[in-house]
């Protein structure tokens, strides 16, 4: 059976981008078709300036939202990265296989390093080695497929390279994974700056739809989305990024194709209105389940405990094998 692994960082409130680019497919497709693991990657959240209490709060919220989005612990494994030591253990071996040049070439490292410096902070070493930990997350489980948005495909490519290199040097240990981005909405853009990704850490939040935004907030944000000069509704990501983004969001909500959808609209106003309603309807059941789950935190804790146990059992033999293969003396 195909093994699927993916993760989400508790660095901010989860967004419509996270949902359309990743979470929705995990719930609707992956957990039904594959042996799947989904992980709240809290160790990754420590690679930038953070408040410990907030990371804890956001980790629990992310786990709750994964369940609210439809992940079913009977069908897949949901857990928190720091609960399974194998991630950190294998990450070190990945650092011994990767080069600093590979790490420095990562687009996300370059972007985040600039952001940290602009905020007056320094760049943590772990931000540079972030992809080694991500490769460990993926490779520890013998993962075949990694369902992620567009922005993570470079990291998955690096994990592939590291798997191949490790196998060649030290003997076959890892499955070589591949990224599986969605066909539509693989990069949902910021509603105010449609040339930038809709990310969790947008300072004003106006360009970002959060999964827990009230329906009226969602409507307001989408109705105020920046559109392009011109009036006709055409799907052109280069020339008309604002309109293309709305078309992609609507198409993803309705399971349609953005190009085909563009013919149905004569004005930006009508497109925005339908997009806003489609997103409100998309999020409604997730928000309702989230509310129910918040009333029962013990349930979420139980799911995470069982998930960590299962994940540990899956990861340990392969990580132990990697330790032996690379030349470390078994503990006896």
Write out the binding residues for ATP: 9-11, 17-18, 149-151, 188, 197-201
* Cα diameter, the chain: 72
Q: Answer yes or no whether residue 160 interacts with ligand TYM by CB under 6 A.
A: no
Q: Answer yes or no whether residue 146 interacts with ligand TYM by CB under 6 A.
A: yes
Sole binder of ligand TYM in the list 102, 111, 151, 157 (CB under 6 A): 151
**What strands lie across the sheet with 35-40, from one edge to the other?**
77-80, 35-40, 3-8, 145-146, 178-179
Sole binder of ligand TYM in the list 98, 134, 261, 280 (CB under 6 A): 134
Task: Please give the positions annotated as active site.
Answer: 112, 197, 200
- Annotated binding residues for L-tryptophan, as ranges? 137
3-state secondary structure of 31: helix
Q: Considering only CA atoms, which of 311, 322, 319 is closest in space to residue 41?
A: 311
Q: Answer yes or no whether residue 79 interacts with ligand TYM by CB under 6 A.
A: no
Q: Compute how many other C-beta atoms are within 10 angstroms of the C-beta atom of residue 9.
A: 23
Could you give the angle at which helices 153-170 and 86-97 cross, rounded to 10 degrees?
A: 80
How many angstroms separate the CA atoms of 273 and 254, rounded?
14
Stretch that binds ligand TYM, among 15-23, 27-35, 112-120, 160-168 (CB under 6 A): 15-23
Q: How far is the CB of 240 from ligand TYM (least distance, A)?
A: 18
How many angstroms separate the CA atoms of 94 and 113, rounded?
21
Q: How far is CA 271 from the centre of its chain?
A: 27
Structural tokens at position 169: 């040097």
Q: Answer yes or no whether residue 6 interacts with ligand TYM by CB under 6 A.
A: yes
Nearer to ligand TYM, 109 or 323 (CB): 109
Contact positions with ligand TYM (CB under 6 A) in 199-218: 199
- Annotated binding residues, as ranges? 9-11, 17-18, 137, 149-151, 188, 197-201
How many angstroms separate the CA atoms of 328 and 326, rounded?
6
How many angstroms separate the CA atoms of 14 and 66, rounded?
10
With residues binned 3-state (H G I as helix, E B as strand, rest as coil), the percentages for the chain, rounded to 5, are 60, 5, 35
- Spell out where the chain has E strands: 3-8, 35-40, 77-80, 145-146, 178-179
Sole binder of ligand TYM in the list 30, 137, 202, 248 (CB under 6 A): 137
Nearer to ligand TYM, 8 or 78 (CB): 8
Nearer to ligand TYM, 69 or 188 (CB): 188
Nearer to ligand TYM, 18 or 192 (CB): 18
Q: How far is the CB of 278 from ligand TYM (least distance, A)?
A: 16
The closest residue (CB) to ligand TYM is 21
How many angstroms separate the CA atoms of 139 and 123, rounded?
26
Sole binder of ligand TYM in the list 80, 98, 106, 198 (CB under 6 A): 198
Residue 2 near residue 33, CB atoms below 8 Å: yes
Sole binder of ligand TYM in the list 64, 152, 227, 245 (CB under 6 A): 152
Q: Answer yes or no whether residue 41 interacts with ligand TYM by CB under 6 A.
A: yes
Nearer to ligand TYM, 206 or 299 (CB): 206
Binding site for ligand TYM (CB under 6 A): 5-9, 17-18, 20-22, 41, 44, 134, 137-138, 146, 148-149, 151-152, 155, 185-188, 197-199
């Amino acid at each position: 059976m195909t093994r699927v692994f993916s993760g989400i960082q508790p660095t901010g409130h989860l967004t419509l981008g996270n949902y359309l680019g990743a979470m929705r497919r995990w719930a609707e497709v992956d957990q039904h078709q594959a042996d799947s693991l989904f992980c709240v990657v809290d160790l990754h959240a420590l690679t930038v300036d953070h408040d410990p209490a907030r990371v804890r709060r956001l980790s629990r919220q992310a786990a709750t939202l994964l369940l609210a989005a439809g992940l079913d612990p009977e069908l897949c494994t949901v857990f928190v990265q720091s609960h399974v030591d194998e991630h950190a253990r294998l990450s070190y071996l990945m650092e011994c296989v990767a080069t600093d040049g590979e790490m420095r070439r990562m687009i996300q490292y370059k972007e985040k390093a600039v952001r940290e410096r602009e905020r007056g902070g320094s760049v943590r070493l772990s931000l540079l080695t972030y992809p080694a930990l991500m490769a460990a997350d993926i490779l520890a489980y013998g993962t075949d497929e990694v369902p992620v948005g567009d922005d993570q495909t470079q990291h998955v490519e690096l994990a592939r390279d590291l798997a191949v290199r490790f196998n060649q040097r030290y003997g076959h240990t890892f499955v070589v994974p591949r990224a599986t981005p969605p066909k539509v909405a693989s990069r949902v853009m910021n509603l105010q700056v449609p040339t930038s990704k809709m990310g969790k850490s947008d300072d004003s939040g106006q360009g970002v739809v959060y999964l827990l935004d009230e329906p009226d907030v969602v409507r307001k944000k989408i109705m105020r989305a920046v559109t392009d000069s011109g009036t006709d509704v055409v799907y052109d990501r280069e020339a008309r990024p604002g309109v293309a983004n709305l078309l992609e969001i609507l198409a993803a909500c309705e399971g349609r194709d953005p190009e085909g959808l563009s013919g149905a609209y004569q004005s930006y106003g009508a497109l925005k209105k339908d997009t806003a309603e489609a997103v409100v309807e998309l999020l409604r059941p997730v928000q309702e389940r989230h509310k129910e789950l918040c009333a029962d935190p013990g349930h979420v804790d139980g799911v995470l405990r069982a998930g960590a146990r299962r994940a540990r059992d899956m990861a340990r033999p392969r990580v132990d094998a990697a330790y032996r293969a690379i030349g470390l003396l078994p503990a006896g």
